[in-house]
Structure 1
Amino acid sequence: MELTASVQTMRSSIMQTFSHLHEHPETSWKEEETTRFIVQRLALLGLQTETFTDCTGVIGIWEPEEATVRQEPLTVALRADIDALWQSVDGEWRANHSCGHDAHMTVVLSALEILKKAGYRPPGTIKVIFQPAEETGEGALKMVEKGAVEGVDYLYGLHLRPIQELPDGKASPAIYNGASLLVRGEVQGLTSHGARPHLGVNAIEAAAAFLQTIQNIHTNPMIPSSIKMTSIRAGDENSTNVIPDYARFTLDVRSQSNQTLDEIYEKIQSVARCTAEMYGAHITLQPDGRTAAAEVHDEAKACMRQSIQDVLGQENTAPDVITPGGEDFHFYTLKHPHIKATMLGLGCGLTPGLHHPHMQFNREALVSGAHIMARTVIHTFQKGEST
C-alpha cells in the first residue's frame, strides 16, 4: 500500500472539496447543507452514517473487514468542526469560513479518500465526527451526548495555525489550547439621590471594588492564567444625580489548566460574596460558555509526530503549539478521560489571523494535512497491533 501515490492523484479533488465547502458557509447549528454534503461524500466512500433529528452534524463509521480484525480491535476517530462565523465582510454581514473549518472538513474527508484509494484495510473501526457549533463551544458536548466517542480509543483533530505560531510548510503534533470561561454578573444595590449617597448602595462602586479585588487573585504562576472584565453597564446618562442600583458585567477568564480555571472561578465567587457583604449589595454570577484546556496523550502525539516526519520531514516537524485560544475539541477527553487524543497544528502561511474576515492561507497545506491524518490512522493501528 503506497499512500504517497494516492495523495498525488487527489490534489484536484482536494481543492474541489475545499472550494465547495468554502463557498457554502453556514453558522452554528444551521449547517444543514454542509451536513447533507458530508453524508453524500461519506456514502460514496462506503461508510455508514448517522445524523440527528435535533441537530446538525454527522458521524461516519468505517467498519473493518472480518478477516482484518485483531483480537481486541481499536477504534480510531477523526474529528472536524463544520460551522462558520457570522461576521461583516466588506460591509456585508454573512456566514464566513474565517476560522479554517472548511479546511478541517476537507482534510478529514480527503484522508478517508486517500486511505480508500490506497486500498487500506483497517484492523479496527475508523470513526469520523463532523461536529457542529464549535464556535459557540457547544458542539462537542452535543456530540458526546449523541455517543460520538463511545468506544473510541484514539481521537485526532486538527486546526490551521496562524503564521505567528507556525510557518508555512511546518506542522506540530499537538496544540495545547487553554481553558476559557465567560461569566455574566449582576450587581444589585440601592438607588438614592446623588446628594444623599449614604442612603443608597452604589452598584458602580461595588462593581469597581469587585474588579479591583479579582485582579489580586493568585494561582500557580507557572500556569498562564488571566481574568478580564470585558464589559460593564450601569447608571443612566440622563440621570446623573441618581445613585445607580444596578450594574451588569462580563468576565473573560482563561487558564492553560482545567483545574486552575476551576480554582480561579471558586476564588471569583468568594470575592463576589465578600464584596457584596462589604457594600451591602447583592452580586450574582452566571457561567455562560466554557471551553476545556487540552489534555494531550503522549501515545497519540507520538503517532502524529511520526506521520508529520513521514510527510514533511524531521526539519519541518515543529514543537507543540501552546496557545491561549479555546477549542471545544478538548471536551471529548474531559468527558471521556480514557481517550488518547491530540490535535494536529498545521502551518499554512495563514494571514492576517484566525477570525479575520479576509483570512487566507496556502491551500497546498490541505494536501499535506490529509496525508498526515491518513498516516496517523495507520500508525495508530500499527501501534495497537504491537501492544
Structure 2
Amino acid sequence: MMQTETRPSSDTFKEKIYETFDHLHKHPELSWEEKETTKFVEQKLKDAGCHRVITFDDCTGVVGDIGNFSGDCPIIAIRADMDALYQEVDGKMQANHSCGHDAHMTLVLGVLYSINNNELLKKRIGVRFIFQPAEEVGAGALKLVEKGVVDEVDYLYGVHLRPIQELRSGFASPAIIHSATRSVQFEIDGEDAHGARPHLTQNAIEIGAYIMNALHSLYFDPTIPHSAKVTRFISGGKNTNIIPGKASMAIDMRAQTNGLMKELHQRVLEIIHNAQEIFRTPIHITDDYGIVAAESSEGAQEIAAKAIEKVLGSEKLAEGIITPGGDDFHYYKVNVPRLKATMIGLGCDLQPGLHHPDMQFEVDSLFNGIKIFTEILKIHSVED
C-alpha cells in the first residue's frame, strides 16, 4: 500500500486529493486503453470549472482549459501521463501504476482544484491541463502534438516522481534530463533441425549470442552515458533434442544525447544486418521505436526553480537530475521548438524503484507538487 499520513476529515481539499488518488490507483489502464480514466478525468475537469474540455475520437486522453485564452495572455500548460504498466503483481499479470502516473494525474488535478477560484490569476493567464495517454509506449505525446494541443501554448511543464536514491521527500528539481531511448525488436527466422544434425541449420541461440557479443564491442565517447543490451531472447521449446532455428529478441538502447542515440541506433542495425549475412538466416525487424532526449528550456527551468524555492526553501531545491530513463514528454519541445518546457522532479521517498511491482511512495508529497505548480502559475500571472 502507498504510505500516507493520518487523513484529517475536516480538510476538504486534502480529502479530495486522497479520494482522487485512491480511485486512479485502483483503476489502472494500459496504453491506449485509458477509456475509463479519460471519462473520470473529463468529469473532474468539468466539475472544477474548465470552460473547455476536449476529448478525441480516435484515441484516449483529455485536455481542459481554464483562464484567459483571448490571445492577449500567455498560455501555460501542465501535462500528466495516464497509462499503467502490465506486469506481474502477487503472481498475477495485470495493469499496475508502478510508474506513478496515478500520482501525476492527481497532482495536476490538484493544481486545477487550487486555482479554479482564483479569478485574478485566470484573468491574466490561460492554463491548459493535458492528460496524455500512452507514455509507456512512447507514442502518446506525438499523437497529441498531431492534435495541436500545444500549438498555442507558450510554456509547458511536466512532473515525475523520483526514486529515493535521487531525491528524498521534501526536495524537488526544476528539470529531469532524460536520455534518449530506443527499442529494436526482431525475429530470427530459420529452420529447426535434429540435435544430431547441426549442419542442417543455423542455431538461432548462437545467432543471438553473436548479436549479444557484438553489442559489447561497441565503443563511443565515454563521457556521454549510453548503453545497449538484449532485453528479450526467446528460443527453443520443450524438446531438448531440437536445434531451434527461430528466436524472438529485443535490444534496449539509451544515450544521453539525441546525436549519440542516432549513431548507436545505426550501429545496432548494422550488427543485426551482419548477423543475417554471416549466418545466412533471415532476420526480420518487427518494431523499431524510441523517445528523444530531453531538451529543456532555461526560461522554464528558472521559473520552476523560483517556485520550488518559494514553496520548499532554497535548501530543498535540487539540481537538474540526469537519468538514463526516458519520457515522451520531450517530444512536445522537440516537435515545437519555440515551446519553453521542462519536467519537474518531485522527491517522495519512492522505493524500491520505478516500475517495481511493489513501488511505494509518500502520497502526502503530492501536496508539495501541487503547491509548486500553483506557484509556477502565480509567477507567470505576475511576470508575463
How much has 1:259 moved relative to structure 2? 2.1
The corresponding residue for 2:256 is 256
Q: Is the 8 A contact 1:300 1:380 kept in 2?
A: no
Higher deviation after alignment, 353-362 or 366-375: 353-362
CA distance in 1, matches of 2:332, 2:289: 16
1:292 maps to: 292
Question: Structure 1 residues 229 and 23, CA, compared in 2 at 3 Å: closer, same or farther?
Answer: closer
Aligned residues: 372
Look up the match of 1:144. Answer: 145
Instruction: Give the Å deviation of 1:38.
Output: 1.6
Q: How far is 1:224 from its partner?
A: 0.8
Cα distance, 1:41–1:123 mapped onto 2, change above 3 Å: same
* Superposed CA offset, 1:73-132 (max 9, x none): 322110011222333433444433222112111111111221223332343422110111
Counterparts of 1:97-116 in structure 2, within 5 Å, are: 97-116=97-116
| Change in CA separation of 1:147 and 1:269 when aligned onto 2, cut-off 3 Å | same
Q: Which moved more, 1:277-286 or 1:186-195?
A: 186-195
Verify the 8 A CA contact 2:69 2:126 in the aligned structure 1: no
> Is 1:50 the equivalent of 2:44?
no
State TM-score, norm by structure 1.
0.87
Q: Secondary structure at the match of 2:116?
A: helix
Q: Any residues of structure 2 matched to 1:357-368 within 5 Å, and which? A: 357-368=357-368
1:140 & 1:163 partners in 2: Cα distance? 27
Deviates more, 1:307-316 or 1:143-152: 143-152
Give unpaired runs (5+ residues) of structure 2.
Answer: 1-10
1:10 matched to 2:13 = yes
Change in Cα spacing, 1:313 to 1:248, as seen in structure 2 (3 Å) is same
Which AA in structure 2 matches 1:208? A
Where do residues 54-69 of structure 1 align in structure 2 (5 Å cutoff)?
54-64=58-68
Matching residue of 1:349: 349
Which of the residues 31, 39, 42 maps onto 1:39? 42
**1:165 offset after TM fit, Å?**
1.1
Indicate how the Cα distance of structure 1 residues 276 and 318 shifts in structure 2: closer, same or farther if over 3 A, else same.
Answer: same
Q: CA separation of 1:277/1:49 partners in 2, compared to 1, >3 Å: closer, same or farther?
A: same
Report the counterpart of residue 175 of structure 2 in structure 1. 174
- Answering whether residue 145 of structure 2 is matched by residue 135 of structure 1, we say no
Counterparts of 2:317 and 2:107, CA distance in 1: 18
Change in 2 beyond 3 A, CA 1:147/1:278:
same
Q: What is the rounded CA distance, in whole Å, between the counterparts of 1:172 and 1:299 in structure 2? A: 14
Deviation at 1:246, TM superposition (A): 3.1
Shift of 1:14: 2.4
Check the 8 A contact 2:80/2:101 in 1, yes or no: yes
The answer to whether the 8 Å contact 2:296/2:342 transfers is yes
* Offset of residue 173 of structure 1: 0.6
In structure 2, C-alpha distance between the alignment counterparts of 1:166 and 1:132, rounded to whole Å: 26
Bigger Cα displacement from structure 2, 283-292 vs 124-133: 283-292
| Cα distance change of structure 1 residues 163 and 239 upon mapping to structure 2, 3 Å threshold | closer
- Residue in 1 that maps onto 2:30: 27
CA distance in structure 1 between the aligned counterparts of 2:206 and 2:69, rounded to whole angstroms: 68
Residues 71-86 of structure 1: matches in 2 within 5 Å? 73-86=73-86
Equivalent residue number for residue 318 of structure 2: 318
Tell me which residue corresponds to 2:309.
309
The 8 Å contact of residues 69 and 75 in structure 2, kept in 1 or not, is answered as: no
Match for 1:33: what amino acid? E
Between 1:167-176 and 1:362-371, the stretch displaced more is 362-371
The 1-side partners of 2:143 and 2:176 are apart by: 22
Which deviates the most, 73-82 or 229-238? Answer: 229-238
How high is the sequence identity, in percent, across the aligned residues?
Answer: 45
- Return the offset for 1:42: 1.5
Say yes or no: does 1:219 pair with 2:220.
yes
In structure 1, the gaps of 5 or more residues are 1-7
Judging changes above 3 Å, is the alpha-carbon distance between structure 1 residues 246 and 360 closer, same or farther for their aligned structure 2 residues? closer
For residues 276-310 of structure 1, what are the alpha-carbon distances to aligned partners after superposition, in whole Å with 9 as ceiling and x for unaligned?
A: 33333333334344222211111111110100000
Which residue is equivalent to 1:5? none
Please give the secondary structure, in 1, of the residue aligned with 2:124.
coil
Q: Is the 8 A contact 1:162 1:351 kept in 2?
A: yes
- After TM superposition, the score normalised by the length of structure 2 is 0.88
CA distance in 1, matches of 2:69, 2:189: 64
Whether 2:209 is the aligned partner of 1:205: answer no
**Structure 2 contact 78–129 (Cα < 8 Å) conserved:** yes
Distance in structure 2 (CA, Å) of the matches to 1:192 and 1:21: 51
Deviation at residue 244 of structure 1 after TM alignment: 4.3
The alpha-carbon distance between structure 1 residues 243 and 113, as it changes in their structure 2 partners (threshold 3 A), is: closer
Per-residue deviation, 1:205: 3.3
Code of the aligned partner of 2:57:
T
Partner SS, residue 122 of structure 2: coil
